[in-house]
Chain A
Amino acid sequence: MLMETDDDTLARAAASGDRAAFGLLLARHYDRVLGLAFRLTGSRAEAQDLTQDICAALPAKLAQWRGEARFTTWLYRVTVNATHDLRRRQSTRSRAALGWGDWELARQDEIATQAATLDWLTEAMQRLSPELRDTVALVLGEELTQAAAGEVLGVSEGTVAWRMSEVKKRLRAMAAEDAK
């Protein structure tokens, strides 16, 4: 087996127009992006769509990658930002959806019943704020160090540490609630 070229070299080559390098890079990281997208959104279909969007936009974005951060860190950041954007759109939509009358109310009810049957993971993740969810996905899901997660999210390592302790606290509160 040939020696594997590292991501950053490939990315640099791809950024300057090397088609093969780009293909290799994408094939190598598709699963990773999809995994993170799933952990962030909690929905398979959504993660798949999101990953496709990211893939589609990646060539254009890669041209602006300057190599300040490692390629994987950068790719995580792109994914997290795309997810934030998705959430923002969703919240706009759900706000716009308010007040559609009875039809909407009935639909919301139905959704609420569906939500009641969601499994533990989804529930646990949904009870966390978006920031905490991002942090959990990176630290626990992707097994990044707190420093690396901080770099992806653009916050200090201390903030990540604080967020993780916050997650712990909330999980404990949830467990206590469930025990009741």
Chain B
Amino acid sequence: MTDELDALKAALKAIPAPDPDAKDAALRLAMENFDRLQGSTDATRLSQDRPNAAGFLNGVRRMLKTMTTRPALAATTSVAALCIGLFVAWPQLQQSWQPPLVKPKVATQAITPPAPPAQGPALAGKDDAKALGQGETAVATNTATPVTPTVPQADQPATTIATVPNPVHSNTVAPAKTPAPDTTATEQDATSLDKLAEAPATGLAAKQAPIFEKPTLAPKTSAGLAYSEPQPAPPAAALRGFAANQTASLQNAPTVAGTVAPADQGLADQSVLQPQPNTEAFSTAVPNPVHVTAEEPVSTFSVDVDTASYSVIRSSLNAGQLPPPEAVRIEEMVNYFPYNYPAPEAGGAPFTDTVTVMPTPWNPNTSLVHIALQGRMPATQDRKPLNLVFLIDTSGSMEDANKLPLLKQSFALMLPKLRPEDQIAIVAYAGNAGEVLAPTSATNRRAILGAINNLEAGGSTAGAEGLALAYQVAGQMPHDGRISRVILATDGDFNVGIDNPDDLKTFVAKEREGGTYLSVLGFGRGNLDDATMQALAQNGNGTASYIDTLAEAQKVLVDQLTGALFPIADDVKIQVEWNPAQVAEYRLIGYETRALKREDFNNDKVDAGEIGAGLQVTALYEVTAPGSPALLNDPLRYGTHTETTGSNELGFLRLRYKDPGQSVSKLIETPILPHGEASDDARFAAAIAGFGQLLQHSTYLGNWGWDQAIALATSARGPDQFGYRIEAVNLMRLAQSLSAP
């Protein structure tokens, strides 16, 4: 079993031997930086033989050199300028001796000329500040032009003034940063003074010299040099500082032409060689093609009340990325929104169907057939008690804030909606495995919340028969006409004891026969196994929802709790037979993963989706009349002759469903008539279908784009009590900006 690991380990052990040159260079660079930072503990060799204090001129020079602060320079320069001004003006003053009038004039004259010199030092001061702020980066950039090694020398006179403070900087900062004893600090201060006494160029040249030897190192050096962290920070911050330095080095790099460019190229290459791994798997299905009615008059599919795809799209868009086209399932987007379809009458079928034919927003030559199912909302007081078993993934990947913590919050939201006779049990898999909470009445909120809050992500996958245990717990709970449901909360790591996905589906399907449903709540991105989630929920007669925010938890677990947990019709299948006289071509929008074979419609053994209490299901067909310019397929020359029956029906809608727990299906039949006023609900559903097709880069939309989709959705907003529709409009706007070329 560990063969793979062994192979990987062996492969990892074979690392290339370090390149001695590179190692040398790196070590030397490190030592340079070390010295620069610490202030070398080796005393600098003196540049003169005489003692420092010897000689009058030395003393004066030192005094002048130390007096390089801005005010001092400004003051001395002003004094000098004043003297010169007086000297120039004095003869004139003597010639025209009119003290009361001239004196102020002299004063101005005397002061104005010095302005440029006074600015001179000020500028130098600014340069100083720059040199201080940027650290030695400026120097490094100079040295990084190996093509013209004479340039720094030419610059030398200019830079000397600017670089004078450098020794001051490094020497005064270093002791403050290092936890060195005070004595060292004073020693270093002393050396810094000594250094100041010397020509600053010497120190600079000494520092620059090694860099000149290795011009290729220059860009790296700038990284190493830009280390002026302001204060001793905790390690984490330090590492971040390191990151910032590295970025700085990269930003500097392009300015240093030549040697760096190839390295850049290499970096870019590498970045593409290592694509961001993503283990998300989506139920991929090619969008439904256009069918020719004469060839395939019947279209069959199962209803789908999942909403996971819309949440996934929303989380992608909010993260600033267009969702991958395979993540888009249009029926789940359309069914995400609550619609106000006509409710079924009491005592009749558990749901009603409403069919509307309206013009297609994106194609004036076709029509859109909008099929709406509205499930009955049973009186909440009469609902059967629930047995809920939460199967919670606590593997290490669940530790993110938008996974286990969000699940805990969602759980707390849901609890008040439950009733005393409802029973809750919690089973965790991976990490702290096993039954976390024995079946408990929903009123015992303290015990339930305590158990859920004690769950911790982390720990290896225990490989426990998590799912089997969950079903076993569900089996132990009282069965007097209760609805049992296992709710799997996971980020996609289905390591629940049964490895093979097909076995897993079979297992879930078997338990479904036993009357226990399975719903899946998806959390987090990056590892989301959307395909398995779909498969599990479909086989378990449940819904797959993806919870990315607390607001979504509110919608799924609070607002639609009854719908999500109480099935009113099982195995709901839809079959439409199109009338070739009225419809030459048709296309089902969405429901790719829910397609059924024509013969499966009447086969009660074949599983299909369920409708929860009060939920709506919407399906959209785009149909083209015979002779319409929008036809995509030419009629066959030797094809079958289409009989004109004279009926104006577009087609015939058949619905099959089972009452929950029954094994024999019932049939509802409705003709599709070319009439109907398009309600806001129908138009909004069409806008969302357009949104989905835009995300799929569908070829059926022609010139219809984001602007039209947004306009349609906005105009069809309706009351939009909870803001779901306006959220969709905003997502469309976001997607429009993101897909702008």
A residues near B, CB below 8 A? Answer: 14-19, 22-23, 26-27, 30-31, 34-35, 38-39, 41-46, 48-49, 51-53, 55-61, 63-66, 68, 74, 77-78, 81-82, 85-87, 89-91, 93-94, 97, 99, 108, 111, 114-115, 118, 120-121, 124, 126-130, 136-137, 140-141, 155-156, 158-159, 161-172, 174-175
Contact = CB atoms under 8 A, between A and B. Distances in A.
A168 to B, nearest CB: 6
A144 to B, nearest CB: 12
Contacts of A166: 396-397, 461, 493
A111 B223 contact: no
- Name the interface size band of chain B: 35 or more
B245 A57 contact: yes
A15 B271 CA distance: 35
B38 A19 contact: yes
B31 interface: yes
Nearest to B188: A17
A143 to B, nearest CB: 9
B42 interface: yes
Interface string B391-404: 00001110100000
Interface stretch (B11-19, B287-295, B638-646, B721-729): B11-19
Contacts of B396: 155-156, 158-159, 161-163, 166
A44 B430 CA distance: 37
Contacts of B37: 59-60, 63
Q: Is the interface of B mostly helix, strand, loop or mixed?
A: helix
Interface string B497-518: 0000000000000000000000
Contact of B5 (A35, A129, A171): A171
Contacts of B458: 155-156, 158-159, 162
Contacts of A158: 396, 431, 458-460
Contacts of B15: 34-35, 38-39, 141
A175 B4 contact: yes
A111 B272 contact: yes
Given A15-B179, A48-B22, A158-B396, A39 B12 contact: yes
B209 interface: no
B223 A168 contact: no
B350 to A, nearest CB: 42
Interface string B26-45: 11011101111111111000
Contact of B2 (A64, A99, A168, A169): A168
21 contacts: A19-B35, A31-B18, A34-B23, A41-B270, A46-B270, A52-B25, A55-B29, A57-B245, A61-B239, A64-B235, A66-B235, A81-B239, A81-B242, A108-B272, A115-B273, A126-B273, A129-B278, A141-B12, A155-B396, A162-B396, A164-B460
A27 B27 contact: yes
A167 B239 contact: no
Contacts of A56: 26, 29-30, 33, 220-221, 223-224
Contacts of B224: 53, 56-57
**When A and B form their complex, which 9 residue pairs have the shortest distance between CB atoms, in order from nearest?**
A56-B224, A90-B271, A162-B396, A171-B4, A161-B460, A60-B227, A158-B459, A158-B458, A159-B396
Contacts of A34: 15, 18, 23
Contacts of A171: 4-5, 8
Contacts of A82: 242-243, 246
A63 B461 contact: no
B1 interface: yes
Contacts of B39: 17
B678 interface: no
Contacts of B395: 162
Contact of B249 (A17, A53, A114, A174): A53
Nearest to A114: B273
Contacts of A65: 235
A141 B13 contact: yes
A27 B18 CA distance: 12
Nearest to B1: A168
